[in-house]
Amino acid sequence: MDMALEIAVAAIKIFIVLNVVQLVVAYTIYVERKVIAHAQMRLGPMRVGWHGLLQPIADGLKLFLKEDIIPDKADRIVFVLAPVMVLVPAFVVYAVLPFSATFYITQINIGLFFILAISSLGVFGIVMAGWASNSKYSLLGALRSAAQMLSYEIFLGFSVIGPLMLAGSMNLQEIVHAQSDVWFVFYQPIAFIVFFIAAMAETNRAPFDLPEAETELVAGFHTEYSGMKFAFFFLAEYANMFVVSTVGIVLFFGGWEGPDFIPLPGFVWYVLKLSVFMFVFIWLRATLPRYRYDQLMRVGWKFMFPLVMLNIFLTGFLKYLFL
């Protein structure tokens, strides 16, 4: 009986989280369009609803109704499977994300490891999409994407080691509790910088959006996708942005905990911090040009990799000395 109850509660939670995430993703796209529009001195979506507030719903409806084209020479099975392969890991990761002290789907003692492991599966979908499309633009985009995401996953993985060493746990809840006095971003500035850059590259966001560099490769790996399949890639990208932002908040900014003198519920703190992260993502996209492929690799391997290694060494050394 307990078992059934637990499953029911979990199912309800999953239902809530999935739907909320999808809605929030849709409205993040709206916010992104608005923020970038105002950076560029224009209005952005204004027609559908008050100040274009219904725009995401109209867009979603449009994508649903669009003809679903599969290119003639495409590998049909892989072509259909690829968007699913991208979207599913992006959402599975939400299982362990802590949104507040009490609200999370589940809690496992290797939470962070689980996130890294599952989110790295997304790259398979992208490579599959690029290959199955049987298009040169898609293939080039997918190759770039694979190289980029694999490389930056390494830095992402190494950059979280510093905070992990301080917290002494992979459980996301415990990592947050370990920061109740001081946020780890003050102990681990280098790790945070590397983490943030790697997170941008990992989610294919500007200035690292070269897998889908529209001026060179049309739309990169999803050139041949339309309708809901395209929407899947889009959803996955934004869902991944939320994941890396949440991980960043948990590891470096004390998760849902805020300063004691401002009594706000944990969930509100989480949303506030998340908004700041998302705003920075959007802001950078409005400001920066795009890196070139070889420069991206050089930045990664020649600059970030030594830096993050140094950070691990320093963290260990200082911890040994002072703690």
Give me the residues that bind other proteins (CB under 8 A), please: 36, 39-42, 136-137, 140, 144, 206-207, 209-210, 213-218, 285-295
CB of 216 to other proteins, least distance (A): 5
Q: Report which of 41, 25, 89, 34 is spatially closest to residue 231, judged by C-alpha positions.
A: 25
Closer residue to other proteins (CB): 109 or 295: 295
Closer residue to other proteins (CB): 112 or 139: 139
Closer residue to other proteins (CB): 42 or 67: 42
CB of 36 to other proteins, least distance (A): 7
CB of 137 to other proteins, least distance (A): 7
d(CA 50, CA 52): 5
Closer residue to other proteins (CB): 220 or 258: 220
Closer residue to other proteins (CB): 98 or 300: 300
**φ, ψ for residue 184 (rounded to 5)?**
-65, -20
**Gyration radius from the chain CA atoms:** 20
User: DSSP assignment of 188-220, as one string?
Assistant: -HHHHHHHHHHHHHHTT-TTS-GGG-HHHHTTG
Handedness of CA 21, 230, 196, 146 (dihedral sign): positive
3-state secondary structure 80-132: HHHHHHHHHHHHHHHHCCCCCCCCCCCCCCCHHHHHHHHHCCHHHHHHHHHHH
- Which DSSP category does 160 fall into? T
Closer residue to other proteins (CB): 76 or 136: 136
CB of 213 to other proteins, least distance (A): 7
Two tokens at 262?
Answer: 């401002």
CB of 261 to other proteins, least distance (A): 38
Handedness of CA 25, 156, 270, 115 (dihedral sign): positive
Q: Cβ distance 164 to 252 under 8 Å? A: no
CB of 268 to other proteins, least distance (A): 32
Closer residue to other proteins (CB): 202 or 257: 202
Closer residue to other proteins (CB): 81 or 284: 284
Query: How many other CB atoms sit within 10 Å of the CB of residue 41?
Result: 6
CB of 139 to other proteins, least distance (A): 8
CB of 37 to other proteins, least distance (A): 9
